[in-house]
Amino acid sequence: MSDSSRKRSKWDEDEDEPPAAQPPPLKRRTKQKPAQDSPSATPPPQPSSVSRHPPHSHYVPPRTHHPPILPSRSVYCYERLNQIEEGSYGVVFRARDKQTGDIVALKKLKLDEEKNGFPITALREVNALMTCRHENVVGIREVVVGDTLTQVFVVMDFIEHDLKSLLTLMPSPFLQSEIKTLMHQLLSAVGHCHSNWILHRDLKTSNLLMNNRGTIKVADFGLARRYGDPVGVGGMTQLVVTLWYRAPEILLGAATYSTAVDMWSVGCIFAELILKEPLFQAKGEIELLAMIFKLLGAPTSNSWPEYSKLPLAKTISLPSPQPPQFRQKFQYLTAAGIDLLMSLLTYDPDRRITAEEALQHPYFTESPLPKHPDLFGSFPSAAAGEKKRALFSSPSAPARAADYKLLTDFDVPEFN
């Protein structure tokens, strides 16, 4: 790391006394027209043919017809409140908009070790967030800059929880009616991204935010990419999706993959919501494949015709056939629930259920019906530095079926 990158920004150090509330807006270069007004100015000699034609193609509208290019606002427009988390690509802060008082999240993009200009991951993240605006995708507000070139922040709506932290803090798992609501929201967000040609490629519980009003927001588009774009000679990168949520075709070295990789991750998330812990907690890729084979039974030429053609398939010795263990693992899930889970965790990516299809699955219309988001309990937000209340850590009520949370003060929305 260079010296300059170690230097902390003034925004980091001293939020009370920002040097300047906002840098003066960059002066737009305006064409001067001194030719007639100023006697000293002599117009440059121009060949007569040039003056008759515009300096640009007829097909490109003149500059004045483009949307205006505005400079990014300064990070000093925000007051830093607390650091939420340092993730793999950036640091996330909670902050307050000094103008509106809105509480937001600022993700500082890690640029300081970048040798080749602005990193593609950061560009993809901003672009994907702007392309995929949706009720269940975290809202991007703007991109702001700090004092140095390494300080670029994405400003997002602040969301109280991420599902990973919430699942570890909750005394008992979500109710089926709640899981249905969360899964329906997740599927509509993923379906929306896919219909806009965006693959998320890192769906997992720590990248799913949830507010205190029962709404999920898909976040962290740092690995997202457009899937309609041509694929380079080396194929698409296999270094995507956090191991536990990685689809078998990626594990087996497929050169191209598509929306189905996200659907596999959605299946892992569905299972995690039910189990209250990640489904495949493997230490490495081989162990992960072994765990998948154990749960689903090994792939066959019937269940996954393309399997044997995958680059790494020959290096794997398949276990002897054994029945899938879905039923034992998910004893309390209805037949429709098991069917949806199995459709998501389907080996063959071509047969894996799509987000659009999954939204129509009977699981969502059978009893218990999805719970209205307004009826979700609210939890103290670790990201906002809220302390656990005594009630939260007390033993859970005996009868889960009674929707006990409705009877506690968690149901009083904290923010509205």
Ligand X SMILES: Nc1ncnc2c1ncn2[C@@H]1O[C@H](COP(=O)(O)OP(=O)(O)O)[C@@H](O)[C@H]1O
Among 85, 285, 348, 356, interactor with ligand X by CB under 6 A: 85
Among 87, 305, 368, 373, interactor with Mg ion by CB under 5 A: 87
CB 242 to Mg ion: min, Å: 8
Of 25-33, 88-96, 358-366, 398-406, the segment contacting ligand X by CB under 6 A is 88-96
Contacted entry of Mg ion, ligand X, none for residue 156, CB cut-off 5 to 8 Å set by kind:
ligand X
Q: Look up 202 and say whether it is catalytic.
A: yes
- d(CA 323, CA 343) in angstroms, rounded, equals 16
Look-up: residue for tokens 């000699």? 45
Q: The tokens of 91 are what?
A: 């640091």
Among 220, 249, 262, 272, interactor with Mg ion by CB under 5 A: 220
Question: How many Cβ atoms from other residues are within 10 Å of residue 106's Cβ?
Answer: 24
Q: Is 209 in the site for ligand X (CB under 6 A)?
A: yes
Tell me, residue by residue from 181 to 210, as one string, x for binding to Mg ion by CB under 5 A and - for no binding.
--------------------------x---
CB 162 to ligand X: min, Å: 4
CB-based contacts of 82, cutoff 8 Å, min separation 6:
93, 94, 384, 385
Closest-CA residue to 101 (of 83, 77, 134, 74) = 77
Among 75, 77, 81, 105, interactor with ligand X by CB under 6 A: 105
Helix-helix angle 176-195:260-275, to 10 degrees: 170
Cβ atoms of 338 and 326 within 8 Å: the answer is yes
> If 0-12 CB within 10 Å is exposed, 13-18 middle and 19+ buried, where does residue 244 land?
middle
Among 81, 155, 156, 341, interactor with ligand X by CB under 6 A: 156
- d(CA 104, CA 96) in angstroms, rounded, equals 6
Q: Is 278 in the site for ligand X (CB under 6 A)?
A: no
Q: The tokens of 211 are what?
A: 């507010």
SS3 assignment, position 367: coil
- d(CA 318, CA 295) in angstroms, rounded, equals 13
SS3 assignment, position 20: coil
Among 84, 250, 261, 271, interactor with ligand X by CB under 6 A: 84
Residues 370-389 that bind ligand X (CB under 6 A): 383
The sheet that has 103-109: what strands, in order across it?
Answer: 78-86, 90-97, 103-109, 152-157, 140-145
Q: Is 125 in the site for Mg ion (CB under 5 A)?
A: no
Q: Is 87 in the site for ligand X (CB under 6 A)?
A: yes
Among 75, 81, 92, 353, interactor with ligand X by CB under 6 A: 92
Nearer to ligand X, 90 or 119 (CB): 90
The active-site residue, picked from 3, 12, 112, 202, is: 202
CB 93 to Mg ion: min, Å: 15
Q: Is 158 in the site for ligand X (CB under 6 A)?
A: yes
Residues 164-203 that bind ligand X (CB under 6 A): none
Helix-helix angle 260-275:335-344, to 10 degrees: 140
Binding interface with Mg ion (CB under 5 A): 87, 207, 220
Binding interface with ligand X (CB under 6 A): 84-85, 87-90, 92, 105, 107, 138, 156-159, 162, 206-207, 209, 219-220, 222, 383
Catalytic center residues: 202
